[in-house]
Amino acid sequence: MITLDISQSVYKGTGSARFITDLTKTILDYSDNEFFSFFFSGLKQKLDNSIQKSIKAKKFKLYRFFLPPKLLSFIWNQMHILPVDFFIKTKVFLSSDWTEPPTINCKKATILHDLAFLRFPNVIHPLILKTQRQRLKWIIKESSLIITDATATVSDIKTLIPKHKKILGLSETDLDRLEKEIKVEVVYPGVKIPKINHHKAELILKKFGLKPNSYFLSVGKIEPRKNLKRLITAFNQITTKKKLIIVGPEGWDKLKQERINRDNIIFTGFITDNELFSLYANAYAFVFASIWEGFGYPLIEAGLSKTPIICSNIEIFNELIGKNALYFNPKNTKDIAEKLQLAEQNPNLINKNIQPAYNLSQKYNWKNYYNSFKQILINLCR
């Protein structure tokens, strides 16, 4: 049996939560209760009610702990005590973003979305930076398998981990283990979008004071690596009657100055999926200015919504969407502004990419993910 840690599903509005929630639902749809079980820990945090009901109805095993994330991180990442298989019965424990427990008899595997915290430590919250470094150390020392979202992260695993071995607390023996004993597999996550009810979409647009094609849309948690300060600065340099809509939960980049007296920029905060995908479907263009991403759900969501894409010229976006976007240098405010202005003045330039991007985005589906994911874990269990 494989036990998947689904604790991160409670942090709605983040890529990690969306991933683990959709993966859990996919397992419940396609798997049987003999192969997978689930682990969840949280004190104030509550597992989604529909997922709880589905787990119970389909008779999957749920191991429920009542420890807050910070305490569990201290026990497992920092002290690295209390092996998880003291408390659960499993062949493989599959961690998924935050904590990395020790084990005695069962194998360990992990889902590693990216190494942005090694590449850009200055834009990562100190607590997250510390936690992810500790977690990565134990992955390298103990795990048998890393499942990641893209080949860009495989490249980072090979180059960034050896480069940061001191700060991670790794020895040459550990690096040798990474090279020879840990299998690294790439499986592209699935992305799905709901059908849009056009009447409801009209009401949603009205709620935000918008009309179809009257705005550029950006989606993501408000944090430094999303590069929103440069995007906002660039947007204020162009000539347009359109607005910039920024969707995402609050992070640690408050953007206080950028929010003052800005009639042309709207921060929605966290919104429902129906609201989000109604905004995708009616946007003039989707803008993704991240400095770095492990995968980039919003990019594929925009593609599936048939919304033109303007985005950072970074490795992962090239890998996912190819030539079907208008690219800019995310570290160059002038270039961002120029590309936004170009898109504003030449709609055909970005609209020609809609269908190719949609066709390419369709391959990122959960059935494909599940089939590859399960076979990799079957091989690990042999």
Contact 235, 285 (CB under 8 A): no
Q: What per-residue confidence (pLDDT) applies to 45?
A: 84
Mutual angle of helices 273-282 and 198-207, in 10-degree steps: 90
Check whether residue 204 and residue 280 sit in a common domain. yes
Check whether residue 55 and residue 180 sit in a common domain. yes
- Element (DSSP H or E) covering residue 163: helix 151-163
**Tally of structural domains, the chain:** 2
Mean pLDDT along residues 224-235? 93
Q: Is 30 exposed, middle or buried (0-12, 13-18, 19+ CB in 10 A)?
A: middle
Mean pLDDT of the chain: 93
pLDDT in tens, 25-46: 999 999 988 899 999 999 888 8
Check whether residue 231 and residue 119 sit in a common domain. no
Range from 41-45, 238-242, 336-340 carrying the lowest mean pLDDT = 41-45
Check whether residue 221 and residue 132 sit in a common domain. no
Provide the residue range defining the domain that includes 253: 198-361
Check whether residue 169 and residue 218 sit in a common domain. no
Check whether residue 233 and residue 307 sit in a common domain. yes
CA distances, 323 to each of 115, 252, 253, 313, 318 (Å): 25, 33, 31, 10, 7
Check whether residue 69 and residue 134 sit in a common domain. yes
Check whether residue 277 and residue 297 sit in a common domain. yes
Q: What per-residue confidence (pLDDT) applies to 374?
A: 95
CA distances, 345 to each of 90, 288, 337 (Å): 58, 19, 12
Check whether residue 309 and residue 370 sit in a common domain. no
Any idea what the CATH number is for the domain that residue 294 is in? 3.40.50.2000
Check whether residue 205 and residue 186 sit in a common domain. no
Check whether residue 271 and residue 374 sit in a common domain. no
Check whether residue 126 and residue 228 sit in a common domain. no
Sheet with 107-112, edge to edge strand ranges: 62-65, 36-41, 2-5, 92-95, 107-112, 145-148, 183-186
Mean pLDDT along residues 139-166? 95
Q: Look at residues 241, 8, 33, 229 and name the one whose alpha carbon lies nearest to residue 110.
A: 8
Phi–psi pair at 359, nearest 5 degrees:
-60, -45
